[in-house]
Amino acid sequence: MYKAIFFFTLILFVSSSVISPQGRMTHEERIKQYKERLKLIDDQTKKLDGILLKSEKKREEMRNSGDMGNMREEMMKSMDETNSQIAKILKPAQKNEFNKMVEERKNRMQGQRRNKQQ
Q: What is the pLDDT of residue 8?
A: 45
pTM of the model: 0.71
CA-CA distance, 80 to 36, in Å (whole number)? Answer: 22
- Compare 108 and 26 and report the one with higher pLDDT: 26
- Separation of alpha carbons 43 and 51, rounded Å: 13
Q: Is residue 95 helix, strand or coil?
A: helix
Q: Supply the Cα-derived Rg of the chain in whole angstroms.
A: 18
Sequence-distant contacts of 29-32: CB under 8 A, at least 24 apart: none
Condensed to tens digits (0 to 9), the pLDDT of residues 52-105 reads 999 999 988 888 887 777 787 888 899 999 999 999 999 999 999 999 999 998
The string of DSSP letters for 47-62 reads HHHHHHHHHHHHHHHH
DSSP class of residue 10 equals: H
